[in-house]
């Protein structure tokens, strides 16, 4: 894989360093797994990223209850389905779309390569074998990218890794669309969306402007050199090595770029999706230019458009809530009026019955009175 050409040792978790031979042997196994899944070309693919267009896509992304993502970019409708993703990436559009049928204990056993596992144990990436750990990194960074800690895999992540290892086909295009719709604020899949946006615009014979902000992915973006230098590491003779006898405070000082480190040079891109620079680190060559400021203004404008869309949805939701409350008040008033009418009717019925009873008693008295008088007369 393309990462291998630039790392002779890799730190995966908790100061555990892997030698180049161990990494290569495990990568060979992982490559066979992804080749069997039909995803190897996707993992090794590369495409120019258009950060502003990607931001624009997410800013205009419509809410959906189906597995279809609809948005607008440069006034052009973009409709993303799992069929389109499968065609764009060249990956199979078949397999399971959820992991409900896979038990957690079964997934743990496959990931840990153990027959007896504790189903309630808290698994971290350090518990996993090297090959499983590499797959987990690709799951949480490429297939279903997420924010936060990547060393604490979720149950879904473990089941995903288990399916890759045992060859269970996963419908990755379907999962990508659902993940894209569920995390619009995280703006995942910048490279994939850039590929789709450029393809759709080309189908409408719309050219992307030459001055459009773009980022060309490079292996240099995968290395946080400032963070590695803070760990007392230096790049020399083709690999990052530990520097002995250096204090922590000295390691924190930013170092100037050396003339001999050609592989260590890196462009100051306005937006880097792969690299996560540590807070506080800076570069003497990262002075703001007019182009970079314009690019940042475009990104800020896209963010404002996204916020406006969110505020519009909030206002619509608030209006719906107020309308619902008004309808509830009408219903309550109607119920109160109806109950009043029923009580009045019952009172009227009681009044009528009482009047009828009094009338019957009066008639009875009138009917019995002559009989009493006649009886008295007869007795005389």
Own/partner pairs for 74-80, CB < 8 Å, 24+ apart? Answer: 74/201, 74/206, 76/200, 76/201, 76/204, 76/206, 78/196, 78/197, 78/200, 80/177, 80/180, 80/196
Bridge partners for 215 per DSSP? 49
Using 50, 70 and 90 to split pLDDT, how confident is the model at 86?
Answer: very high
Q: What is the pLDDT at residue 248?
A: 44
For residues 63 and 271, the model is more confident at 63
The answer, yes or no, to whether residue 250 has pLDDT greater than 90, is: no
Using 50, 70 and 90 to split pLDDT, how confident is the model at 362?
Answer: low
Residue keyed to tokens 């930013």: 254
Q: What is the pLDDT at residue 289?
A: 63
Which region among 116-120, 308-312, 358-362, 363-367 has the lowest average model confidence (pLDDT)? 363-367
pTM for this one? 0.56
Measured on CA atoms in the order 192, 193, 196, 197, is the torsion positive or negative? Answer: negative
The answer, yes or no, to whether residue 50 has pLDDT greater than 70, is: yes
Radius of gyration of the chain (CA): 37
For residues 302 and 61, the model is more confident at 61
For residues 251 and 59, the model is more confident at 59
Rounded Cα distance, 133 and 111, in Å: 9
Bridge partners for 69 per DSSP? 80
pLDDT mean across residues, the chain: 74
Read off the pLDDT of residues 221-233 as tens digits, 9 standing for 90 and up.
Answer: 555 566 556 556 6
Give the mean pLDDT of 150-162. Answer: 88
Which region among 18-32, 312-326, 363-377 has the lowest average model confidence (pLDDT)? 363-377
Residue keyed to tokens 């288990």: 162
- H or E segment to which residue 240 belongs: strand 239-242
Query: What is the 8-class DSSP label of residue 246?
Result: -
Using 50, 70 and 90 to split pLDDT, how confident is the model at 258?
Answer: very low
Instruction: Kindly tell me the burial class for residue 222, based on how many C-beta atoms sit within 10 Å of its own C-beta (0-12, 13-18, 19 or more).
Output: middle
Using 50, 70 and 90 to split pLDDT, how confident is the model at 43?
Answer: confident
Q: In 10 A of CB 68, how many CB atoms?
A: 14
**Rama region for 205: left / alpha / beta (φ>0; ψ in -120 to 50; rest):** left
The two three-digit tokens of residue 99, written as one number = 């992991």
Calculate the CA dihedral of residues 352, 358, 361, 362 and round it to 10 degrees.
Answer: -120
* Residue closest to 40 by CA, chosen among 143, 178, 133, 146: 143
Q: What is the pLDDT at residue 229?
A: 64
For residues 58 and 301, the model is more confident at 58
The answer, yes or no, to whether residue 379 has pLDDT greater than 60, is: no
Give the mean pLDDT of 174-189. Answer: 86
The two three-digit tokens of residue 357, written as one number = 């009873």
CA angle 55, 60, 64 (to 5 degrees): 120
Residue keyed to tokens 């899944």: 37
The answer, yes or no, to whether residue 36 has pLDDT greater than 80, is: yes
For residues 341 and 371, the model is more confident at 341
Q: What is the pLDDT at residue 215?
A: 82
């Amino acid at each position: 894989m393309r990462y291998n050409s630039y790392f002779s040792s890799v730190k995966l978790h908790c100061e555990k360093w892997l030698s180049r031979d161990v990494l290569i042997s495990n990568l060979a196994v992982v490559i066979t797994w992804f080749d069997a899944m039909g995803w190897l070309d996707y993992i090794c693919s590369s495409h120019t990223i258009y950060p502003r267009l990607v931001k624009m896509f997410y800013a205009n992304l419509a809410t959906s209850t189906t597995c279809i993502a609809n948005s607008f970019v440069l006034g052009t409708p973009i409709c993303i389905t799992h069929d389109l993703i499968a065609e764009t990436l060249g990956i199979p559009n078949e397999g399971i779309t959820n992991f409900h049928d896979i038990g957690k204990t079964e997934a743990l056993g496959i990931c840990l390569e153990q027959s007896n596992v504790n189903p309630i144990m808290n698994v971290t990436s350090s518990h996993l074998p090297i090959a499983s750990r590499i797959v987990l990194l690709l799951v949480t960074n490429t297939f279903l990218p997420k924010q936060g800690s990547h060393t604490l895999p979720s149950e879904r992540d473990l089941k995903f890794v288990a399916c890759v290892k045992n060859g269970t086909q996963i419908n990755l295009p379907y999962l990508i669309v659902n993940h894209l719709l569920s995390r619009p604020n995280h703006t995942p899949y910048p490279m994939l969306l850039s590929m789709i946006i450029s393809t759709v615009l080309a189908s409408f014979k719309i050219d992307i402007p030459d001055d459009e902000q773009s980022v060309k992915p490079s292996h240099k973006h995968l290395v946080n050199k400032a963070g590695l230098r803070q760990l007392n590491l230096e790049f020399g003779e083709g690999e990052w090595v530990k520097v002995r006898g250096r204090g922590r405070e000295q390691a924190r000082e930013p170092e100037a770029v050396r003339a001999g480190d050609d592989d260590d040079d890196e462009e100051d891109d306005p937006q880097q999706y792969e690299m996560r620079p540590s807070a506080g680190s800076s570069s003497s060559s990262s002075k703001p230019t007019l182009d970079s400021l314009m690019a940042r203004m475009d990104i800020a404008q896209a963010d404002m458009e996204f916020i406006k869309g969110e505020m519009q949805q909030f206002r619509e939701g608030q209006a719906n809530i107020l309308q619902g409350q008004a309808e509830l008040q009408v219903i309550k008033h109607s119920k109160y009026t109806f109950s009043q009418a029923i009580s009045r009717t019952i009172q009227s019925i009681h009044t009528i019955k009482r009047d009828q009873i009094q009338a019957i008693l009066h008639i009875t008295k009138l009917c019995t009175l002559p009989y009493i008088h006649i009886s008295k007369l007869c007795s005389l």
